Homo-oligomer: A and B are copies of this chain.
Amino acid sequence: MTNNERKQATWIWYPGDFEVWLHREVCLRREERGNVYPPFYRLDSPYVSLKFQHIYTIAEAEEVTIAAQGRYNVMIDGRMVPSDTGKLLLPEGTHTFIVSVVNESGLPALFVQGSTIATDRSWNVASGNWSWVKPGSWKFHSAEEGPSLYRLSTMREEAAEITQKNDGSLLADFGKETFGYMQLHGLEGEGQVTLYYGESLEEALSESHCETFDRIAIAAGASPDYTHDKSKAFRYVNIVPEQGVAVGGVSMLYEYLPVEYRGRFRCSNERINRIYEVAAYTMHLTTREFFLDGIKRDRWVWSGDAYQSYLINYYLFFDEDVNRRTMIALRGKDPIDTHLNTILDYSFYWIIGLYDHYEYTGDLEFIRFIYPKMLGLLDFCRARANGNGMVEGKPGDWVFVDWADISKEGELSFQQVLFCRSLIVAAGFARMFEDAERAEQLEREAAALRGLMFDTFWDDEQGGFVHNRVNGQVQLHMTKYASMFALLLGFLDDAQRQSVARKVLMNDRVQKITTPYMRFYELAALCEIGEQAHVLSEMESYWGGMLDLGATSFWEVYDPEVKGNAQYAMSGRPFAKSLCHAWGAGPVFLLGKYYMGIKPLEAGYARFVIEPKLGGLTWFEGTVPANKDDIHVYMDERKITVRTGASPGLLRLTSSTEPSCPSAAFRELGQNRYELPLDTPNSEYVIAYVNAENER
């Protein structure tokens, strides 16, 4: 430092351990009817004992203040020096300054502030054995506010309607699905108050079967206002005071991750507009410390659910932090002794998700950090492949695929598609990091598996992949899973894509998908081959069907065949089904990627492409967050308007006449396809064209 400005310190810790610690905290907040409900997969802990090292050179002795999460000591050049006052005079010259921090229950972290010496990412940290690495840090820049005080934001919200009953109980309806800390007001007397939460009215009123409740003891002479210290998911709260205590009113502290809705979408179809809005809100509710699956139950971080959330996030918030936090937390610590969340498919989603993250964000630093962890996980998967080089469920593995009545036996074609893509993704990173020998090995394995996958499971007659092979016997039964993922992940040629679309995905005789989770991929695959118009009507009927049942956020499972309160049941419990589930938010992604048609051409949106498509709409307009830029697009049957940011891109469209743009020149691609370079930064392009979608 040559200037006299005070350098701002930041809290530092072992890289990845903030996420590991926070993941442990968050996962243990799940409750079922008053009981803690820990995950059945391993929860990791941060390292207990760290050394933070900084080799400095200063011309004059400098006083620093030290704050630590945990007990600590200080050594200068290997000698312990007193540090119990939290202040220390660092001697002039060049010295090795080491602070050891130990914390058995939380996250060891350090904050040192001097005028020129301050903790930051240039320091070193070791969890043992003097193996120095660069520390983790985030946005904690004050000694008083260490990372363990990290909380989401809150704001007070009033109930939309409060009904007081004769027995003194209150029923609060917050008007829509929400999440936060209940507040009681006008408390009088002494006794117990029970809060029965419901995502549905029926759940809140079912004292014996609602999934969550809280019991509060109100002491005599207590404050009339009370805020609960645990946050819950609900729309309705049934507040039941026992005799001797009265509740005058209620409100809540809404708890949320402060992210911005950078993605937007409006169109000529009001039902689709409402679907987009509810999907975006669903996503906001489940985008928290990490991507949760659902906010009522499980409130856990599941890799398959998270994979879909990453994709939706790119089209809504573009919040890279929550992606990274989720990926680090899911991977956890070594040793890997099970698949992520114990689920075979979920290990693969994690690896494949890293590719998307790099494509959309271009965050090479993160990929470099996570690369060895990715190899560790992939090696675990590879070591569990069978003699044919295929993966299948081994003892202790959960083969999930979907909540559906399907076989999990033997080699599933679906799992091979994900495994093969994981090998390809890993090989790509290996090439990027000049890890050539490994890249070649992984490429060989991927090619072999790809061949085997087609030889074994592709059924020309049925036009897609059959479901599985058991004890060497290929089963003739076909499901949609492998075929739609093979299409999405680039394993199919044109003829195969068309075959999958017609004979598998749009074939009523193939087993229907009843989770928004897998409908997401099914519809994305159809969009990939231009079936937006079909997908639009599917969105209207499927997601719209939930709206018709009063949904204010989208559900974990929706089966139009199931009627009445039976819609709320799951796992043998009448209200177990989650009515706010991240994987319900798929339309945000579908509309952003396949209607607005925006995606990166080079990592981190260094270049982008727009291929907008009305897909049955008369017009739409919206914004897609493209890393630092926001790209705006308007489209109707005669006009397209694009507003770009700093990065260049391409517009590709189909027009039955030659399109025109005053500010740039189109290039003809043949078959009514045209391409317009969007090279001028921060510009608006107004294009005249004639929509040709119905000509297809």
| Interface of A toward B, CB cutoff 8 Å | 24-25, 28, 32-45, 47-49, 51, 71-74, 80, 82-84, 100, 102, 104-106, 126-131, 334-335, 337-338, 342, 396
For the complex formed, measure the closest distance between the CB of A375 and the CB atoms of chain B, giving whole angstroms: 14
Which of chain B's residues has its CB closest to A376's CB? B335
Interface CB pairs A-B, < 8 A, 8: A28-B104, A33-B80, A35-B84, A38-B102, A42-B49, A45-B48, A128-B337, A128-B338
Which of chain B's residues has its CB closest to A342's CB? B129
Q: Contact between A82 and B35 (Cβ–Cβ < 8 Å)?
A: yes
Bound: A127/B51 CA distance, A: 29
Bound: A423/B100 CA distance, A: 36
Residues of B within 8 A of A51 (CB): 40
Bound: A337/B333 CA distance, A: 13
Q: Contact between B36 and A73 (Cβ–Cβ < 8 Å)?
A: yes
Residues of B within 8 A of A42 (CB): 47, 49, 127-129
For the complex formed, measure the closest distance between the CB of A34 and the CB atoms of chain B, giving whole angstroms: 6
Bound: A41/B38 CA distance, A: 30
Q: A34-B82, A36-B102, A80-B33 are in contact. Are A342 and B128 (CB under 8 A)?
A: yes
Q: How would you classify the secondary structure of chain A's contact residues: helix, strand, loop or mixed? A: loop
Residues of B within 8 A of A73 (CB): 32, 35-38
Instruction: State the 10 A-B residue pairs at the shortest beta-carbon distance, nearest first.
Output: A105-B105, A42-B128, A35-B73, A38-B49, A36-B71, A334-B335, A38-B102, A129-B338, A43-B48, A129-B342
Q: Contact between A40 and B130 (Cβ–Cβ < 8 Å)?
A: yes
Bound: A44/B37 CA distance, A: 25
Residues of B within 8 A of A106 (CB): 105
Residues of B within 8 A of A131 (CB): 337-338, 396
For the complex formed, measure the closest distance between the CB of A300 and the CB atoms of chain B, giving whole angstroms: 12
For the complex formed, measure the closest distance between the CB of A585 and the CB atoms of chain B, giving whole angstroms: 29
Which of chain B's residues has its CB closest to A42's CB? B128
Residues of B within 8 A of A104 (CB): 24-25, 28, 45, 105
Bound: A127/B80 CA distance, A: 39
Q: A32-B73, A80-B32, A84-B34 are in contact. Are A40 and B102 (CB under 8 A)?
A: no
Which of chain B's residues has its CB closest to A74's CB? B35
Which of chain B's residues has its CB closest to A79's CB? B572
Bound: A100/B100 CA distance, A: 34
Q: 15 more A-B contacts (CB under 8 A) besides A35-B73, A42-B49?
A: A28-B102, A32-B73, A35-B80, A37-B73, A37-B80, A38-B49, A38-B73, A40-B128, A40-B129, A42-B47, A43-B128, A105-B105, A128-B338, A130-B396, A334-B334
Which of chain B's residues has its CB closest to A39's CB? B49
For the complex formed, measure the closest distance between the CB of A498 and the CB atoms of chain B, giving whole angstroms: 42
Residues of B within 8 A of A35 (CB): 73-74, 80, 82-84
Bound: A33/B41 CA distance, A: 42
Bound: A102/B100 CA distance, A: 28
Q: Contact between B36 and A72 (Cβ–Cβ < 8 Å)?
A: yes
Which of chain B's residues has its CB closest to A25's CB? B104
Bound: A106/B74 CA distance, A: 26
Bound: A337/B74 CA distance, A: 26
For the complex formed, measure the closest distance between the CB of A87 and the CB atoms of chain B, giving whole angstroms: 15
Residues of B within 8 A of A47 (CB): 42
Bound: A337/B396 CA distance, A: 26
For the complex formed, measure the closest distance between the CB of A273 and the CB atoms of chain B, giving whole angstroms: 41
Bound: A342/B126 CA distance, A: 13
Residues of B within 8 A of A72 (CB): 36
Bound: A34/B43 CA distance, A: 34
Bound: A130/B72 CA distance, A: 38
Residues of B within 8 A of A126 (CB): 40
For the complex formed, measure the closest distance between the CB of A290 and the CB atoms of chain B, giving whole angstroms: 17
Bound: A72/B37 CA distance, A: 8
Q: Contact between B338 and A335 (Cβ–Cβ < 8 Å)?
A: no
The listed residue with most B CB atoms (<10 A of its CB), out of A38, A49, A130, is A38
Which of chain B's residues has its CB closest to A32's CB? B80
For the complex formed, measure the closest distance between the CB of A472 and the CB atoms of chain B, giving whole angstroms: 27
Bound: A128/B34 CA distance, A: 22
Bound: A72/B45 CA distance, A: 19
For the complex formed, measure the closest distance between the CB of A449 and the CB atoms of chain B, giving whole angstroms: 25
For the complex formed, measure the closest distance between the CB of A397 and the CB atoms of chain B, giving whole angstroms: 9
Which of chain B's residues has its CB closest to A49's CB? B38
Bound: A609/B403 CA distance, A: 67
Residues of B within 8 A of A48 (CB): 24, 43-45
Residues of B within 8 A of A45 (CB): 45, 48, 104
Residues of B within 8 A of A84 (CB): 34-35
Bound: A128/B84 CA distance, A: 40
Residues of B within 8 A of A36 (CB): 71-73, 100, 102
Residues of B within 8 A of A337 (CB): 128-129, 131
For the complex formed, measure the closest distance between the CB of A570 and the CB atoms of chain B, giving whole angstroms: 14
For the complex formed, measure the closest distance between the CB of A192 and the CB atoms of chain B, giving whole angstroms: 13
Residues of B within 8 A of A32 (CB): 73, 80
